[in-house]
Amino acid sequence: MTQTVGHFIGGETVLTQGRTQPIYNPSTGAVSGEVELASAATVEQAIANAAAAYPAWRETPPAKRAQVMFRFKMLLEQHADEICELISREHGKVLHDAKGELQRGIENVEFACGIPQMLKGEHSKNVGPNIDSWSEFQALGVVAGITPFNFPAMVPLWMWPAAVMCGNTFVLKPSERDPSSVLRIAELAIEAGLPKGVLNVVNGDKEAVDTLLQSEVVQAVSFVGSTPIAHYISSEAAANGKRCQALGGAKNHSVLMPDTDLDNAVNAMMGAAYGSCGERCMALSVAVTVGDEIADRLVAALKEKIAGLKVGSGLDNSNDMGPLITAQSRDRVKGYIDAGVEQGAELVVDGRDISVPGHEDGYFVGATLFDRVTEEMSIYTDEIFGPVLVVVRVDSLQDAIDLINRHEYGNGTCIFTRDGEAARYFCDQIQVGMVGVNVPLPVPVSYHSFGGWKRSLFGDLSAYGPDAIRFYTRRKTITQRWPSSGVREGVVYSFPS
């Protein structure tokens, strides 16, 4: 019997007998269950539960909220193997990769535990005669998050723990492609003591998203996904008077200088380009080589490494790379490889015809490598979101910087070099939000914030870290006066100074 994944509303699992769509195991291509797609009425039910829970949760002392979050962190650690298996079965990523994802999510929960200290306002005594002034950071109310398939556990944990620690209640709309780990995590939050209704989860498609965006109750929306959808979310949120942070797509470049420690750089790039089958917004998908000598060495070394890459089921922890999440994703990536060949790029390693014994119907694409790619080719311009790495050759560091700065995306980048002057110049001149120096995936730790530039981020504040507190609260400034008893003052018509 096919298992149906429903919603999590008011602390309870909810099945509405509405529209559904299949859930697939990407390693086999088989249907593993089905997920309900929320109607507008179901989403409104979740919003109503969040609104009902808000007054009491807002008044809960921050230290007591933190106690819940500490217990929640412990439960995530205790149930890590269970959660990671759910991720792997529905997303396809290898178990060790899923564990890395979950650990990054847990680090954001750890940060959220310390938010009470960051909610302290500012106070000034005697800004005027017997006048004191101070600011407070108050919760917004009901807020929402819309999260992608590629990090079903981590990205929701970027959002709702910080939001609820600031005193808000939350409605989460995760990806309907791999929903089970999100719902299990929501159950653990209730087990940790989170009051019912503070966190609600609705699975769904555009109908669910639009209901959140159009709701007069929802005050803010966080989003991670592709740039076209991020732009839509941002525009609709603004039109409906909501605060919004919408993280979009990426085309992350790595620059290799002639003095690069090539062995270390190749190992780093292999993981950054092909880990999680390239389905990461921080995946390295472009290698920009400064000079032909380093380019030739890089391509030869990558080709040799790719030959030893082990591809297979995500549930086999000995594998390096699993499948893509859907047949459509597989076909899309193969279409980009076809286009690269047609447009004249040199195909060094072709991953289109890979076959995994025992998993012939899985959604696999092997690691693919192109050389001599040029700026107008679609394999360079577009976010492929698959295991495709392209090499672009330039003559100088300035050429590399100019190339990256011309691209519409500005999410992440890195430089491999032993030259501190070159690294410092690169970090200063590059128009990208997250930069690594000999670090291929410069994802900020939980107590910094994550966000790109240009068309990789719509909104003024990045995700998690200090920016999350500013996003999920608003400042209220209070000016108070207690004049001495018996003092009578006349009317003053000039502006106070």
Q: Tell me if 164 is assigned to some domain.
A: yes
| pLDDT bucket at 130, cuts 50 / 70 / 90 | confident
* Burial status of residue 17 (CB atoms within 10 A of its CB: 0-12, 13-18, 19 or more): exposed
The answer to whether residues 331 and 297 touch, using CB atoms and an 8 Å cutoff, is: no
Q: What is the mean pLDDT of the segment spanning 71-94?
A: 98
Cα(6)–Cα(174) distance, integer angstroms: 12
Q: What is the mean pLDDT of the segment spanning 93-111?
A: 98
Strand order across the 20-25 sheet: 4-5, 30-36, 20-25
Structure tokens belonging to residue 71: 């217990």
Is the confidence at residue 143, as pLDDT, over 70?
yes
> Tell me, what's the pLDDT at 35?
97
Arithmetic mean of pLDDT over the chain: 96
Strand order across the 12-14 sheet: 12-14, 7-9, 199-201, 169-173, 142-146, 218-224, 243-247, 457-458
Structure tokens belonging to residue 318: 């000995």
Please, what is the Cα angle at 27 between 103 and 22, to 5 degrees?
95
Is the confidence at residue 483, as pLDDT, over 90?
no
Q: Do 79 and 207 reside in the same domain of the chain? A: yes
Q: Do 230 and 311 reside in the same domain of the chain? A: no
Q: What is the mean pLDDT of the segment spanning 474-494?
A: 86
Considering only CA atoms, which of 198, 316, 250, 332 is closest in space to residue 324?
Answer: 332
Structure tokens belonging to residue 119: 């909610």
Instruction: Give me the DSSP letters along 431-497.
Output: --SEEEES-SS-PPPTTS-B--EETTEESSS-BSHHHHHHHSEEEEEEEEE-PPTT-------SPP-
Q: Tell me if 31 is assigned to some domain.
A: yes
Q: What is the mean pLDDT of the segment spanning 446-475?
A: 95
Q: Tell me if 345 is assigned to some domain.
A: yes
Residue with tokens 């890195």: 414
Instruction: Give me the DSSP letters along 378-401.
Output: HHHHS---SSEEEEEEESSHHHHH
> Tell me, what's the pLDDT at 101?
97
> Tell me, what's the pLDDT at 102?
98
Considering only CA atoms, which of 193, 207, 170 is closest in space to residue 9?
Answer: 170
**Span 185-225, pLDDT tens digits:** 999 999 999 999 999 999 999 999 999 999 999 999 999 99
> Tell me, what's the pLDDT at 485?
76
> Tell me, what's the pLDDT at 378?
98
Q: Do 207 and 338 reside in the same domain of the chain? A: no
The answer to whether residues 281 and 249 touch, using CB atoms and an 8 Å cutoff, is: yes
Q: Tell me if 484 is assigned to some domain.
A: no
Residue numbers of the domain that contains 127: 4-248+456-478
Structure tokens belonging to residue 164: 């609820």
Q: What is the mean pLDDT of the segment spanning 47-74?
A: 98
> Tell me, what's the pLDDT at 313?
97
Q: Do 54 and 198 reside in the same domain of the chain? A: yes
Percent with pLDDT over 70 in the chain:
100
**Span 422-460, pLDDT tens digits:** 999 999 999 999 999 999 999 999 999 999 999 999 999
Number of domains in the chain: 2
Last residue of a domain, one of 437, 464, 486: 437
Q: What's the CATH number where 163 sits?
A: 3.40.605.10
pTM of the full predicted structure?
Answer: 0.95
Q: Tell me if 162 is assigned to some domain.
A: yes
Q: Tell me if 267 is assigned to some domain.
A: yes
Query: In angstroms, what CA-CA distances link 107 with 110, 117, 411?
Result: 5, 17, 21
Q: Tell me if 496 is assigned to some domain.
A: no
Hey, which residues are catalytic here?
A: 281
Residues 208-224, buried b or exposed e (16+ Cβ, 10 A)? bbebbbebeebbbbbbb
Q: Do 234 and 326 reside in the same domain of the chain? A: no
Q: Which residues, 6 or more positions from 382, have their beta carbon under 8 angstroms from its beta carbon? A: 251, 336
Q: Tell me if 491 is assigned to some domain.
A: no
Q: Do 58 and 15 reside in the same domain of the chain? A: yes
| pLDDT bucket at 1, cuts 50 / 70 / 90 | low
Cα(192)–Cα(176) distance, integer angstroms: 25
**Span 295-324, pLDDT tens digits:** 999 999 999 999 999 999 999 999 999 999
Instruction: Give me the DSSP letters along 288-347.
Output: EEESHHHHHHHHHHHHHHHHT--B--TT-TT-SB---SSHHHHHHHHHHHHHHHHTT-EE
Q: Do 110 and 225 reside in the same domain of the chain? A: yes
Q: Do 303 and 407 reside in the same domain of the chain? A: yes
Q: What's the CATH number where 395 sits?
A: 3.40.309.10
Q: Do 325 and 467 reside in the same domain of the chain? A: no
The answer to whether residues 329 and 385 touch, using CB atoms and an 8 Å cutoff, is: yes
Rounded-to-10 torsion of CA 342, 344, 347, 348: 170
Is the confidence at residue 486, as pLDDT, over 80?
no
Q: Do 391 and 409 reside in the same domain of the chain? A: yes
> Tell me, what's the pLDDT at 2?
73
**Span 226-249, pLDDT tens digits:** 999 999 999 999 999 999 999 999
Q: What is the mean pLDDT of the segment spanning 61-82?
A: 98
Q: What is the mean pLDDT of the segment spanning 254-259?
A: 98
205 secondary structure, DSSP code: S
Percent with pLDDT over 90 in the chain:
95
> Tell me, what's the pLDDT at 496?
80
Last residue of a domain, one of 408, 437, 466: 437
Q: What is the mean pLDDT of the segment spanning 48-57?
A: 98
**Span 158-184, pLDDT tens digits:** 999 999 999 999 999 999 999 999 999
Structure tokens belonging to residue 466: 């200090």
| pLDDT bucket at 490, cuts 50 / 70 / 90 | confident
Q: What is the mean pLDDT of the segment spanning 276-286?
A: 96
Q: Do 207 and 339 reside in the same domain of the chain? A: no
> Tell me, what's the pLDDT at 487?
73
Cα(56)–Cα(197) distance, integer angstroms: 11
> Tell me, what's the pLDDT at 20?
96
| CA-based R_g, the chain, Å | 25
Q: Do 179 and 289 reside in the same domain of the chain? A: no
